[in-house]
Structure 1
């Protein structure tokens, strides 16, 4: 058991014992308003639930950690695909909030450099941006010449990104000009 966890357990036990003593005094001494008794009882119950989860309810903690880590699986990478759907290159999305897609040059630095792609001549220096906001990824066209389309995994439809960001999810294919990027 780690030092932080041992400290947390120690503090939880101290809080639980303190709340139990205060509750005992308030209930048996009398003269205290009902709202105060209920408030102290709620603090005690929440401390007991927290301590129980920390000590014995490990399955619940693991399920929570698995749910949190699976969130990163919603969209973990941006994968450049060739004409046979084989991955050529990938960019990790973990910990990122935005990725600028385009071509690297002297004036602009991009996160997803598509200069060497087969259709690189059709891609603008600053073609689009992939933004993370409110637990979702959004694709936005930065006024490119040849545009951006999204092939949605849920319905198979292909949609042009126009004046506003388009929500994307794992399995969607992003067409930057004719270059295909798979969101995994």
Structure 2
């Protein structure tokens, strides 16, 4: 919102408060029926309460500036970095194990739990600036623990889940950190 618009909105809010105060004073000082006077005061109080409760105007939700996903980091059991794959600029990244019949983008053949990793275990897809992960009908399953959370969620086959920096992907028992 432009600063000039903000000044006008504040001025309009102030004008509304003055009009409400004037309505209350008019109702109390003018000899009308008691019912009318109290109706005007009650109506003004309701309007003032709503304006104050909502802050006078709807607030836009602050846009969360998302960091771009740039790489996937393989972690060992101690949380140390073992290997990194840069994914910036990619649109689709296949996670699994290289075989004679095909290659993957993130090869976990050398990982500690390679025996639990399927040849085509999961896939990362980028749509615009957002990344999604899907389990590709793996045998051991794929999980995700969102950044700042302590619970992990097992993915449903071919159901995309959004990922972002700080998320931890579980390919069987192998941990991949999204950076």
Question: Normalization by structure 2: what TM-score?
Answer: 0.61
Higher helix share: 1
Segments ≥4 residues shifted beyond 3 Å? none
Corresponding position: 1:177 with 2:172:
yes
The alpha-carbon deviation at position 74 of structure 1 amounts to 2.5
Q: Residue 94 of structure 2 aligns with which residue?
A: 100
- The 2-side partners of 1:117 and 1:157 are apart by 23
Match of 1:136 among 127, 130, 139: 130
Corresponding position: 1:74 with 2:68:
yes
- The 2-side partners of 1:101 and 1:152 are apart by 19
- The 1-side partners of 2:170 and 2:116 are apart by 12
The alpha-carbon deviation at position 110 of structure 1 amounts to 0.2
- The 2-side partners of 1:158 and 1:167 are apart by 14
Gaps of 5+ in 1: 1-69
Gaps of 5+ in 2: 1-64
Q: Residue 127 of structure 1 aligns with which residue?
A: 121
When structure 1 is superposed on structure 2, of 140-149 and 154-163 the one drifting more is: 154-163
Corresponding position: 1:157 with 2:151:
yes
**Which secondary structure does the structure 1 equivalent of 2:83 belong to?**
strand
Contact 2:68 2:129 in 1 (8 A): no
Q: Over aligned residues, Cα RMSD in angstroms?
A: 1.4
- The 2-side partners of 1:133 and 1:105 are apart by 28
- The 2-side partners of 1:74 and 1:158 are apart by 22
The alpha-carbon deviation at position 93 of structure 1 amounts to 1.2
Question: Normalization by structure 1: what TM-score?
Answer: 0.59
**Which structure has the larger Rg?**
2
**Which secondary structure does the structure 1 equivalent of 2:162 belong to?**
strand
Count, aligned residues: 114
The alpha-carbon deviation at position 157 of structure 1 amounts to 2.4
